[in-house]
Amino acid sequence: MGALRSNRPAFVVAVAAVVALVAGLTARHLLAARPKPAVPVTKSGPGWIEPEEVLHVPHAPGAILLDGDTDDKGWTGNPPPARTHAFLAPNGAPARPFSEIRMVWGDGYLYLSLYAADEDIESRTADNDGPVWLDDAFRVVFTRGDTQYAIEVSPRAVVTDSVRHGDGKWDYAWTAGVHVSKEADGTINDPKDKDEEWVIEMAVPLESIGLEGKPGESIGFTASRCDTLRTGGRSCGSWGEGTPPGLVVLE
């Protein structure tokens, strides 16, 4: 009995060592099996939470000509552009009519293709920095720290851009210096015929939204699109407007 009592602690220690070894191997195996992000995300502030909606935006695989079409190598080559896919309505269902944004970057610009299905294209605002939000329009907002950069654009490629610091007022004297082009399948402001869609190609200078154009850079991003319905009223959908909001990461 004395021999058994003297061997028991050694036996327990041995078992514990084996368990620890297996646990260590299991932990290492699990960590090795976990997929790693393709690009490191820039985190900021205590208690930072990674957004659920993240666009990993590739470098454009070719040139992009801003002509409203998306048949350039920069859009059709590999890697393919990042896509928001369908914007969502406030109830979480896919918004109708359909809206989507595709995105690549390169040559100092962030390129966006804004696609909008639309049976009745409405766009009355003629001058830049006018009330584009009253028309059919996209609104994209980039956020760095407490600064927000907003760009709104209509089917006629009329742009209203503004900047806001903290909870201050939107400053419409600011300009992002964007380049835009348009393409519409339908007749703008003619309710007698049935339209189909409109597309905006937009090049946003990276420096205008505080980016240097380096892989791994990130910036907060939300997008929305509102449409004047043929039957009356407005329908809006959005991407990235959760808590926390969406994020764009340059790959």
Q: Per-domain residue ranges for the chain?
A: 54-250
Residue 38 has pLDDT above 50, yes or no: no
Q: Which pLDDT band holds residue 51 (cuts at 50, 70, 90)?
A: low
**Alpha carbon distance 140, 47 (integer Å):** 26
Which of the residue ranges 33-47, 135-149, 231-245 would you say has the lowest mean pLDDT? 33-47
What are the angstrom distances between the C-alpha of 238 and each of 75, 81, 86, 137, 223?
22, 19, 9, 12, 6
Higher pLDDT, 250 or 45: 250
Closest CA relative to residue 84, chosen from 70, 94, 72, 96 = 94
Can you tell me the distance from the alpha carbon of 13 to that of 9, in angstroms, rounded to the nearest whole number? 6
Instruction: Please determine, for residue 29, whether its predicted confidence score (pLDDT) is greater than 90.
Output: no
Measured in degrees and rounded to the nearest 5, phi and psi for residue 198 equal -145, 155
At the topology level, CATH places domain 54-250 in: Immunoglobulin-like (2.60.40)
Q: Report the chain's mean pLDDT, rounded to a whole number.
A: 84
Neighbours of 122 (CB within 10 A): 20
Q: How confident is the model at residue 50, as a pLDDT?
A: 53
Per-residue model confidence (pLDDT) at position 74: 97
Q: What is the pLDDT of residue 232?
A: 84
Q: How far apart are CA 140 and CA 135, in angstroms?
A: 15
Report the predicted TM-score, pTM, of the whole model to 2 decimal places: 0.80
Q: Residue 46 above 90 pLDDT?
A: no
